[in-house]
Amino acid sequence: MSTAVAHPDQVVLVVDFGAQYAQLIARRVRECNVYSEIIHHDLSAAKIAEKKPAALILSGGPMSVHVEGAPRLDPEIFNLGIPILGICYGAQLIAHQLGGTVGRNERGEYGRTTMSKLADGGSLFAELPEEFTVWMSHFDAVTDVPDGFVAVGTSPNSPVAALECPERAMYGVQHHPEVKHSEHGQEVLRRFLLDLAGCEPTWTMASVIDESVAAIRDQVGPEGRAICGLSGGVDSAVAAALVHKAIGDRLTCVYVNTGLMRAGESDQVVDSFERSQGVRLVHVDAADRFFKHLDGVTEPEAKRKVIGSQFIRVFEQAQLEVEDAHFLVQGTLYPDVIESGSDTAAKIKSHHNVGGLPDDLEFDLVEPLRNLFKDEVRAVGAELGLPEEIVWRQPFPGPGLGVRIIGEVTPQTVSILQNADAIVREEIIGAGLEREVWQYFAVLADIRSVGVMGDERTYARPIIIRAVTSDDAMTADWARLPYELLEKMSNRIINEVDGVNRVAYDITSKPPGTIEWE
């Protein structure tokens, strides 16, 4: 299997020292229109030199530089002449590895802190106010700068909260400029990238589309044919649209109605792709088959397996209708790809393979979104002219409503959930919150409770509303929906959906919960 993705000429490498910081930094770099990739910290200087990065950004991380086994950079990297910005742990590492001192503080700094400029802010902070509020999260702090460096900022518990050596194009900040709570954070990154490291702000969605189209044409060749499974989510939709732009009619999309889709979804997919976009579409209605195989299955993993394996069967059959397709399009995103630090194959979270298709399907993979974050995928979709309902469609799991029905999945339980889910969606959209909330849906629990409606005692199942905010689905928080909105959803669900007599709101963040219930 092979995959071709467009790699822009200019790349900034974000060196990952752990925790969640690297992804956010990489996104902020891209917001400066500079392409970035994340690499593991144990990459050697030689490997980094091969990638010819325009700059390096060292991320924060959870360790102290003084702890045995704490991650280090290959010291030769500092001699490559590549501009470097260290953030938090990254800044401490610059100080520690180049001969400065990192002290163990009596007190750390967590949350909002005041950064005060020293030496007029040097080149990094030159254009910023004398003092500004930054977001800190550290215990250790730099106390002495290495030879040739100057301190350009300080904060109450960090004698050296920012340092630089412009002659060697090395800079370090103790705070987290990538976090929105840091004032002027994006300006600090832009200053480093564009003014000090000389990067060109050429990475735009239009350039992504041009480069991807060229890479797809290159991979598929002038005659090659491709198929793409549309899952109902935004990723496969945008991947399909990109490939369609590149190879037109030589792409056929396959849409399998598993019976586990949201209400109205199958029609919408057919409408948007076949009728509006003119994409060739094989539409397979396999609902009965899925229900038959799900009969009596309640254990979550078993359910996922049944749905996954039936999907493969149906997909294989549909694929026979598409002659000579050697390429399979998948909507794998950058967060699903964990670069291992060596140049070995990237790992993909298994559940993110569309429909969980196995390796032994004899296809070459086309993964045009492999370098993109979710918000960038939406921007590409909008740039390609896809309708808003698709571009802003919320993520939807491959196994569909199957993982939102606790207990047995039957046409009846699916119908209850579809009706409740449609109300949740309508009301969130009606309140204009669909872009603020990452995912919003209903879950059907496998319990019954007593209620009273009119004069009748009821004994029925509850619907749980789940709505979360998130940037990337790796972490999430429950959305603080207005009470009036929750009230309206609750009233409508109980009045309009047979079989439901109670509504609850899930107030669990991720971690410890997951976004889905199964």
Which one of the listed residues 178, 183, 265, 427 is annotated catalytic? 178
Which one of the listed residues 41, 138, 176, 352 is annotated catalytic? 176
The one segment of 177-185, 250-258, 339-347, 508-516 that binds ligand XMP by CB under 6 A: 508-516
Query: DSSP string of 361-376?
Result: S--EEE-TTTT--HHH
515 interacts with ligand XMP by CB under 6 A: yes
| Beta strand 141-144 pairing with 101-103 | antiparallel
305 interacts with ligand XMP by CB under 6 A: no
Say how many residues touch ligand XMP, by CB under 6 A: 12
Token pair 């107030």 in the structure block, residue: 507
Q: Residue 424 is encoded by which pair of tokens?
A: 């949740």
398 interacts with ligand XMP by CB under 6 A: yes
Residue 337, phi then psi, degrees to nearest 5 = -100, 115
Q: Residue 243 is encoded by which pair of tokens?
A: 């490939």
Among 28, 191, 352, 466, binds ligand XMP (CB under 6 A): 352
The half-sphere exposure of 270 on its side-chain side, counting CA atoms within 13 A, is: 10
179 interacts with ligand XMP by CB under 6 A: no
Q: Assess contact for 101 and 143: CB atoms under 8 A.
A: yes
510 interacts with ligand XMP by CB under 6 A: yes
The site string for ligand XMP over 415-454 (x = CB under 6 A, - otherwise) reads: ------------------------x---------------
Q: Assess contact for 15 and 57: CB atoms under 8 A.
A: yes
Nearer residue to ligand XMP within complex by CB, 183 or 516: 516
The Cα 506–Cα 467 span in angstroms is 8
Nearer residue to ligand XMP within complex by CB, 90 or 397: 397
What end-to-end distance do the CA atoms of the chain give, in Å?
Answer: 31
DSSP strand E in 399-478: where? 439-444, 449-453, 456-469, 477-478
Nearer residue to ligand XMP within complex by CB, 352 or 502: 352
Nearer residue to ligand XMP within complex by CB, 175 or 404: 404
Helix (H, G, I), strand (E, B) or coil at 477: strand
- Please report how close the Cβ of residue 396 comes to ligand XMP at its closest, in angstroms: 6
Q: Residue 378 is encoded by which pair of tokens?
A: 């939406």
Among 86, 224, 368, 399, binds ligand XMP (CB under 6 A): 399
Which one of the listed residues 88, 165, 199, 253 is annotated catalytic? 88
Any catalytic annotation for residue 88? Answer: yes
Q: Residue 516 is encoded by which pair of tokens?
A: 């889905």
479 interacts with ligand XMP by CB under 6 A: no
Q: Assess contact for 163 and 215: CB atoms under 8 A.
A: no
Q: Assess contact for 64 and 70: CB atoms under 8 A.
A: yes
- Please report how close the Cβ of residue 130 comes to ligand XMP at its closest, in angstroms: 43
- Please report how close the Cβ of residue 508 comes to ligand XMP at its closest, in angstroms: 11
395 interacts with ligand XMP by CB under 6 A: yes
Any catalytic annotation for residue 178? Answer: yes
309 interacts with ligand XMP by CB under 6 A: no
Listed residue (17, 18, 51) closest to 36, CA to CA: 51
Listed residue (498, 428, 420) closest to 456, CA to CA: 498
Among 40, 168, 280, 351, binds ligand XMP (CB under 6 A): 351
Binding residues for ligand XMP, rule: CB under 6 A, are 351-352, 395, 397-399, 439, 473, 510, 514-516
**Catalytic center residues:** 88, 176, 178
